[in-house]
């Protein structure tokens, strides 16, 4: 996903902002990493350029 999408993504649980960690980048594309919610602490993976903002049940 493009780095710019980071600003648009919000935590699906609390709608807080997400912070990128452990990022692997190719130019401005984020290939993999972790998105952590600053507000509630939930973490979501990015794999093969796709952010998985899934709520675990
Ligand atoms: Zn959250």
pLDDT at position 54: 86
pLDDT at position 56: 66
pLDDT at position 57: 63
Q: What Å distances lie between residue 24 and 13, 54, 56, CA to CA?
A: 25, 20, 24
Q: What's the count of helices (H) and strands (E) in the chain, helices before strands?
A: 0, 4
Q: Is residue 7 part of a domain?
A: yes
Question: How much distance in Å is there from the Cα of 4 to the middle of ligand 1?
Answer: 19
Q: Is residue 57 part of a domain?
A: no
1, two tokens: 């996903």
Q: Is residue 23 part of a domain?
A: yes
Question: How much distance in Å is there from the Cα of 24 to the middle of ligand 1?
Answer: 22
CATH number, domain of 16, equals 2.20.25
Q: Which domain holds residue 22?
A: 3-51
Q: Is residue 11 part of a domain?
A: yes
Contact 22, 13 (CB under 8 A): no
* Structural domain total, the chain: 1
Per-residue tens of pLDDT for the chain, all 57 residues: 999 999 999 999 999 999 999 999 999 999 999 999 999 999 999 999 999 998 766
Pairing between β-strand 43-47 and β-strand 29-37 as defined by DSSP bridges = antiparallel
Question: How much distance in Å is there from the Cα of 18 to the middle of ligand 1?
Answer: 8
Question: How much distance in Å is there from the Cα of 31 to the middle of ligand 1?
Answer: 22
pLDDT at position 8: 94
Q: Is residue 56 part of a domain?
A: no
Assign 5 to helix, strand or coil.
Answer: helix
Question: How much distance in Å is there from the Cα of 39 to the middle of ligand 1?
Answer: 5
């Amino acid at each position: 996903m493009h780095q710019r999408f980071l600003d648009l993504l919000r935590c699906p649980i609390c709608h807080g902002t997400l912070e990128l960690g452990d990022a692997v980048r190719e130019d401005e594309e984020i290939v993999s990493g972790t998105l952590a919610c600053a507000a509630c602490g939930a973490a979501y993976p990015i794999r093969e350029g796709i952010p998985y903002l899934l709520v675990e049940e």
